Chain A
Amino acid sequence: QSVLTQPPSASGTPGQRVTISCSGSSSNIGSNTVNWYQQLPGTAPKLLIYSDNQRPSGVPDRFSGSKSGTSASLAISGLQSEDEADYYCAAWDDSLNGFVVFGGGTKLTVL
């Protein structure tokens, strides 16, 4: 069971805007920044959003992140077929000497 809570699935049609939530606690999201990873089928995860809302070079601005309190969200606007993937949130957790916690992942289906 993952420390961060994500919905197991999400879906949308091309062009739509979808959001994926990530819920944590005061020791992780509540006191540290959130990162999001995209994992296309059969590939390694790729950093999508870091520090709550920053995009690495090359990530389209259709992807955006936000955080409030102990929850975070990933939004994808102008949904495209190639966005069909698993999405994971992650954050540093300050408890027990510190470690990284992941969400359980959300499988995004483009209908």
Chain B
Amino acid sequence: QITLKESGPTLVKPTQTLTLTCAFSGFSLSSSGVAVGWIRQPPGKALEWLALIYWDDDKRYSPSLRSRLTITKDTSKNQVVLTVTNMDSVDTATYYCAHRGAAVGTMDYWGQGTLVTVSS
């Protein structure tokens, strides 16, 4: 059974760096083909894909946010970490991590999400 859970601060100040952790179980990020991604959703708005990290440490980022995002993995801890620098109010959103399915671009298992508010 695959499960994922996001954790991190619920409130950050403008210009600060956000660090979110995705703890997962039911699969190994060292197995060929496996990947974990991050997606966010501002309140009342659409989903926005952020980043993806593969079992071989290959990474993909949203072109519009690439300069501010870093995704890393700790295979021994079954965790994936996303950092977002220079946070702004427009970054207020629920942040989800998800397991990539076998089909290209598919996210087949999602965490419950964590709401991050950016405010001074």
Contact = CB atoms under 8 A, between A and B. Distances in A.
A44 B96 CA distance: 8
Contacts of A37: 47, 107
Contacts of B39: 45, 102
Interface of A: 2, 32-33, 35, 37, 39, 44-47, 50-51, 54, 56, 88, 90-92, 96-105
Contacts of A100: 37, 49, 52, 105, 107
Contact of B104 (A32, A46, A102): A32
Closest A-B pairs by Cβ, 6 of them: A92-B105, A100-B49, A44-B110, A51-B103, A50-B103, A105-B46
Interface size range on B against A: 20 to 34
A56 B107 CA distance: 12
A102 B46 contact: yes
Contacts, number: 69
B48 A46 contact: no
Nearest to A106: B46
Nearest to B59: A97
Interface of B: 37, 39, 46-49, 52, 60-63, 96, 101, 103-108, 110-113
Contact of B47 (A32, A51, A97, A105): A105
Given A44-B96, A96-B63, A100-B52, A50 B106 contact: yes
A107 to B, nearest CB: 10
Contacts of B112: 44
